[in-house]
Structure 1
Amino acid sequence: MNKRRMPRVFSIRITIISLFIVAIVVPFLFFSYYTNSKSIEGISSANTSFSMESLFQKTKALEDYLMGINYRANDVLTLPKIEALLNQNPGNEQEQRAFASSMATLLEEQQNLLDVRKLQFYPIDLENYPEYQKNDGANISREPWFGSIKENGEPEWKLFLPQDNYYLYPEPVISRIKRVDNTSTNKPIGIFTIDIPVENIKTFIEGTQGQEGQQTFLLDENGFVIYHRHKELIGANYDSPELHHLINEKAAGTETFNIEGSKSLVSFVKLHQIPWTMVSSIPLDTLTKPIKKISQLTYIFLVIYILFGLSIIFYITYYFTNPIVRLVRSMRMLENGNFKIALPASKREDEVGMLYRGFNRMVQKIQELIEEVYSSAKIKKELEFQVLSHQINPHFLYNTLESIRWKAEQHRMVEISEMVESLGNLLRLSLNQGMELTTVRREIEQVKAYVRIEKARFGKPVKIIWMINESIMDMPILRLLLQPLVENAIHHGIRENPESGKIVLLGKREGNDLVFELSDNGVGIPERTLQQLNQTLQKESTVDKGSKGVGLFNVSKRLELYFGEHYRLQISVEHGKGTRIIIRHPVLPANNDTGTIA
């Protein structure tokens, strides 16, 4: 026979470790990841809202500033002195010099009022004015932007760098370029430029000091940098296809992508009246820096927690599971029939020690029980032999009673004959061929046989009224239910006054139950006796043979055992007026002829 392989002691330890990982470590890691991602999401969302609101404010302030300069420049062009000077058409060199001097004086005055870098006027046919701005305007007429605005007349904002063929400023400037038409002929007469240093818009774009790594810059409609903190980027095409794609699709928005070599949260807003876009970017590392510190502390705590937990697990498995494994091994030996085993004595006062001592006591008790069962089996065999040798054949008893009845009839002793006949019927119906079930009809015959015997004993009539519904007479019922009740009514109800005493037995069907009600008009059961009887009916154990109500208790207990507590006897008493007992019995299948209850 193959021995069952014992599980290794480490299997329980591995199970506990696995449960520890599944129940604690995995949820802890998931919770850490979830809170970290949600924190980043929340910070990004908050920063997005803040960035967008800040960008909207900055774009509005910048646009108000630039358009304010534009509006004031328009006012300058409508001044009477400027308008009169523009309507002149200088011819010779002397007139051109006078025109240039007068225009320069007027523009310088307005330039200081506008607070701009330079306010300049170029005649539309600049090549016809050789004396006008010889130093810095000689080649302006050849610039593409000059020819473009000369032709279409659309004003524009343009960035000029120091290396461009314009005013050689040491810093980049933003120019508002606008064509001027004659108010009488509507013909173009010149082009005005208003130069603003790029540094002038710095405060509108950068504002207060932002977070570490945060950058805010300005792009034109072609993706060239108008302003950037890093001056070397001004005028260059900003190298970010994703950003250009977003700007072309939306007027404002926020996305996360790589920009300037790091993954950043990028927000942008387009200006309404100027085709520029203000962009703000902040590296995600800057946003998540506080969370990373928390995450590091969390991971350190998790490692310490796991090490501490594993130490506890190893302690538990070594101190508790090893003794349990030894106990299981001994139990397996006990299963194989080896009762001569004993665990080593344990002085531990915990549950393990109690298990060890309990197992040893159990093994000892099993050995004692085996010996006791063996002895009891031997005695039982002897008793069975004695019972078999002393059994009386019921047919012999029936034949003997029949012979007594026949002798009584021969000697014309009718009472003896009837009494013996009733006793024989009572015995036959009570035994019921060893079957537990009988019918209502046979049960009523048994009760009637018992009543005839009692009449003969008393020498006085016993008045019983039978009110049994014929439809239930052939229904199955437990045997010996009604006779103990009638016996109780005769002996404790009407025995003292049989002449006026009366017993009524009612039988009917109510739904799925058979209901039998036995009532008498005797003196009734005393209150104290009734309480004792009810308490007896509620007990789980049997009563003493000498106690009152043994028959009632047996009937109630049989009904309860077979059909449940709902079918206990119901006893009610009106002192001086009699007793009423109700039996409820479930309706059983009519074809149940086995004598057993399914």
Structure 2
Amino acid sequence: MMEKTSKYGGNYMTSFLSRSPIRIKLLIYFVPILVSSVVLTGLFSYLSAVKQLEKNAYYLLNDTVEQTGTFLEDKFLTIFEQLVLIENNNSFRNILGNTSQAVDQQRYDDIINLQKQFEESYQNHFQMIDSIFVTFNNGRSFNLQKDFVPRHVGINLKEWIAYYARSGNTTGYYWLNQHVDHVFETVETRRVVSLFKIIGNPQSEVNGVALINMRESYILNILRNVKVSPNGVLALISPDGVMYSKPLAGEYAISDSIIHNIQQSAEAQGSLQEYSTDNKPMMIRYTTLSLNQWKLAAIVPESDILSNASQIKSITFSIVLLILVVFSVVATLFASSLTNPIRFLSKQVKSVIQGNLNVSFRLKEQNEIGVLANGLESLVDSVQQLLQKVKDEQEHKRQIELLALQSQIQPHFLYNTMGSIKHLIDLGEKEKASTMVSALTHFFRIGISKGREVISIQEELEHVRNYLLIQNIRYSKDFEFEIEVEESILHLPIMKLTLQPIVENAIYHGIKNKAGRGIIRITGARQGDVALLQVFDDGAGMDGERLQQITDSIQSPTVKGVPVTFGLRNVHLRLALQFGCSYGLELESQEGEYTIVKVSIPYTSRGTHDHV
């Protein structure tokens, strides 16, 4: 039974290979060997690179923590030295011991000298120092602050000395991590890092406190300028709190017990492998600042340390894939010479299906494939001839519709203009009527334009300028007009009598329905591949329903009853017929405020006659 299965299986494989293209055979023979070789090589390369990457990351993390710790300790030492200078100042000692304070001159000199010491320390290190405060049990206190006006300055000296005396600190120097400043109370809460010296003890006859506040922002900037990893942070850990360079993301937050263990560690340097509150593996590297025994710790998710491993994996995978692709291409080249003619015909047929008839099916083949190619070539030629005939008929129809639409606009305009001139004559305004007739002459000279139906924007603007001059004479108290069009579009072609119907609507339906004097502004500019002309009026405007009604009437391909706005609809249809349906008119309006009619035409660097 096993022998039959093997026999039939072998026959099936042989039959399959005999029917398969050479390209498939090459892949079946060589791809498994290639894949196994490349995958094994890539796997060993990846594992080796990840191991070295992890080693380098730990080394860099340790180096970063050590260097940052050294830098921070240098800054803390600078502040410590300033506190020692104040403490050892003779005037400080005189005031503390009440020595020679009965003499006014000596007392004043001590105050001035102490303030000079404050000023010198602040000026030399103003970026770090926030404020300085000194107080004695003889009731005298001194302070310096530059950036704020405190509401209250001072401490309860007895409570301070009693509280910190219990800490067992024999040096008398104390460091406080970031905290709200209660020595200098201000309207806005301020956070500082403090160093102070307690002089004496609760039983001493003479005691006091000397304090320097450091700017929290200065220390934070040092920590933030060190980039340990995308999600990692630096933490400055002290017995009284922790200062993070930035908040740890929720999934990488660590518990207070881990922070406590780091702070309590007797080792000056060390590393910890811990887990976040969301059970994410974390790498912690810390060092100790010898000056105040604070710990500086870098807390980094292990996923950040090994983040580049995914890039190595991607690169390795890409190389493997590239080799496979190259090999596949080489293997398929042997079969391509046989399949190229059929693939070529298939490609050209797909182009025809997608609507591209400018393709060729010519082949050098003289066999059956050549006959098929010649037949397809003849078929496409016949289709192209038929489509060209339909296109010519449509173009002829478009020209007839264009002429019909223009013949509808000109009588409409002439009727309104002659009515205006008659009205002026009836009023006895002969000089204005003469000026209007002159403007009308220029208007019709451009309007006739030697029979051309497409003129330049410059000519169209001159045309509408004469129209506005005529109307402005008649309605001189009703409106003003401005024309501002970029020179770069003046050469562009536009349908004659495009702007005049729009301006007419602006006057009769906008300005005349508004109380007071109005303005009509014509502007034009290039916007990419489109030239945009805009006719603005600050007349009555229209509500949203009316605006939508007019827009629908303008853009409707057929007239249903009487159009809402005959002139604008004709202008829009003429532009669409001449330049295409993506061009024409667009309206924008706000009731009681304004109306804008936008005219869009294609931008071209060629002249007007290209579109006539």
TM-score (norm 1): 0.40
Q: Which has the larger radius of gyration?
A: 1
TM-score normalised according to structure 2 size: 0.39
